[in-house]
Amino acid sequence: MNQHSSDDTVFNAKVALILVDIQHDFLPGGALAVPHGDEVVPVANQRMPRYQLVVATQDWHPPDHASFASQHSGTQVGDVIEWDGGPQVMWPDHCVQNTGGAQFAAALQIDRFDHIVRKGTDRRIDSYSGFFDNNHRRATGLHEYLNQRGIEELHVMGLATDYCVKFTALDAVELGYRVVLIYEGIRGVELQPGDCQRAIVAMQQHGVQLAT
């Protein structure tokens, strides 16, 4: 009856939805479980039909990835080491290529994805952002993909607020996109209390808009 309520507005062709790392290992029970991470899945499913372009990022690490504590003797999960010229958080083995943990959440309607960007594939360097590795040396190709399709605005949601969502949104702003964070669709790791709140403030300070 009410076909034009704001809830089911379809955004114009210059707006894309970016779903960040909604994968098994980041859901409760996964290797790097984000508390309440599963709650973003219905939000993503509900939102996808409203966009003409949907892109998902997928953390996709080799088994010996340098972000894994298992690769650095004497380190524990949560430690921060100096690695390749920058700080690197030590994570549990997660999102290993071609394992179940790297798959998208089972309930996620992946048939609605237009494109998937895999990141963190080089063992030597981590890649929180969907656009660049953590040292901004190599691009993933996401910017070119969006650019070729005339995308000017990105609506970002997924996991985790304080890592991959944050760095994807910050890079997007820097690349010139208008960026909107879908608040109900993000959850964070919160290694330190307040990390998620600080991440949201940092994003806002860099020009990310918050959609609640």
Q: Give the residue numbers marked as catalytic.
A: 21, 119, 164
206 in Cβ contact with 172 (< 8 Å) = no
Amino acid identity for residue 13 in this structure: A
Residue 12 CB, nearest approach to Zn ion (Å)? 33
65 in Cβ contact with 71 (< 8 Å) = yes
Chain contacts with ligand VGL (rule: CB under 6 A): 21, 26, 59, 91, 128, 159-160, 163-164
Residue 101 CB, nearest approach to Zn ion (Å)? 11
Candidate list 17, 43, 54, 59; residue touching Zn ion; CB under 5 A = 59
Q: Distance between CA atoms of 150 and 144, rounded to whole angstroms?
A: 10
Residue 65 CB, nearest approach to Zn ion (Å)? 7
Q: In what order do the strands lie in the sheet with 153-159?
A: 115-119, 54-59, 15-20, 153-159, 178-187, 209-211
Residue 21's binding partner among Zn ion, ligand VGL, none (Cβ under 5 to 8 angstroms by kind) is: ligand VGL
171 interacts with Zn ion by CB under 5 A: no
Residue 164's binding partner among Zn ion, ligand VGL, none (Cβ under 5 to 8 angstroms by kind) is: ligand VGL
Please tell me the total number of residues recorded for the chain in this structure. 212
